[in-house]
Amino acid sequence: MKIKKRNKINFLLGIFIFVFSMFVLYEFIQSIGSSLLFLSGLILLVLGRKLLKQAQKECYIIGGVMIALALLQTVSAWIVLVLMIIIIAGKNPSLFNVVRESLFKRDQTTADSQFISVKLDQQRERPIKRIRKNWFGEEKNDDDIYEWEDINYTKVAGTSVIDLGNTIVPKGDNTVLIRKGFGNVKILVPEEVAVSLDISVFLGRVCIGEDELTLNNEVIKYRADRYDHASRRLKVVTNVLVGQVEVLFI
């Protein structure tokens, strides 16, 4: 019985690898850059076996990195990666709920979402601060208030709301950097602020005002007409793997 079960698993695994390889091959045909990167990595791995031991390690490392980068440029590889995360998370109910809610809940700004409100306090001294954020989950953080300073925000999964409505943006260039793995990001920007948006999404949607776009490993750039001449400028850079980015002008 164990042998039959093992043979069945090997058979299904072989079919999965074959189908995955066909999809990857199709995507490589569509992308010359990814194909060249993958082939270069294979060549380095082959050369590494024939070179001296001193150079083998470098060839293996560089070749492996090039192959990994080429695969990560394909949608098929990311789908497999997401499936692996879901399978692993399925063994942990709490982690599974985080992944499920991050991928399927849309436009929900609840008390469980992480909420960051920004206000300006130019008179306050600025000592060195260390702030720890959770990698996963949706945090209840309604009282999380910052005096104005450039925002550098990273989260693996969850829903995040960045509210810039309670501040007067200081003169000069100001930056908001947001990196998110899975989940939704909502950014509230005052209409009077001259804003520049640089939004990268692997799989998901981008909503800017009333405009909505579906992205597949694409980048959206937006710049207000008065941005170049404004004395107060705000640059928002957002990178999301899977999810929705919504920018609302208030």
Per-residue pLDDT of the chain (250 residues; tens, 9 = 90+): 556 666 666 666 677 777 777 777 777 777 777 778 888 888 887 777 766 666 677 777 888 888 888 887 777 777 777 777 666 655 555 545 554 554 454 444 444 455 555 554 444 454 544 445 554 445 433 444 445 677 788 777 777 888 877 777 777 888 888 888 777 888 888 887 888 889 888 878 888 888 888 888 788 888 888 888 888 888 889 988 878 888 888 7
Query: Is 57 domain-assigned?
Result: yes
In a domain, 141, yes or no: yes
In this structure, the answer to whether residues 144 and 233 fall within a common structural domain is: yes
What's the pLDDT at 88? 61
Same domain, 144 and 195: yes
Beta bridge partners of 238: 178, 199
Give the single-character DSSP code of 109.
-
The whole-angstrom separation of Cα 233 and Cα 41 is 43
pTM (2 d.p.) = 0.48
Task: Provide the angle, in degrees to the nearest 10, between the axes of the packed helices 32-50 and 2-30.
Answer: 120
The parent domain of residue 83 ranges over 2-102
pLDDT score, position 32: 75
In this structure, are 139 and 245 located in the same domain? yes
10 Å Cβ neighbour count for 190? 15
Strand, helix or coil for residue 250: coil
Q: Please answer whether residues 232 and 174 qualify as being in contact, where contact means their C-beta atoms are separated by less than 8 angstroms.
A: yes
As a dihedral over the C-alpha atoms of residue 209, residue 214, residue 218, residue 219, rounded to 10 degrees, the angle is 0
Q: What is the pLDDT of residue 53?
A: 64
Q: Is residue 243 domain-resident?
A: yes
Same domain, 190 and 212: yes
- Any bridge partners for residue 153, and if so which? 178
Same domain, 240 and 116: yes
- Residue 46 within a domain: yes
Closest CA to 185 of 95, 113, 92, 89: 113
**What is the reported pLDDT for 136?**
45
Same-domain check for residues 158 and 73: no
Residue 38 lies inside a defined structural domain of this protein? yes
* Distance separating alpha carbons of residues 154 and 131, to the nearest angstrom: 12
Expressed in angstroms, the distance from the first to the final Cα of the chain is 65
How many domains is the chain built from? 2
Position 126 in a domain: no
> Do 73 and 112 share a domain, yes or no?
no
**DSSP category for residue 130:** -
- Taking only Cα atoms into account, the Rg of the chain, rounded to an integer number of angstroms, comes to 23
CB atoms within 10 A of CB 122: 9
On whether both 233 and 150 belong to a single domain, the answer is yes
My answer on whether 71 and 184 are in the same domain is no
Residues 91 and 139 both lie in one domain: no
Residue 127 lies in a domain: no
239 and 213, same domain (yes or no) = yes
Is residue 63 in some structural domain? yes
Residues 184 and 233 in one domain: yes
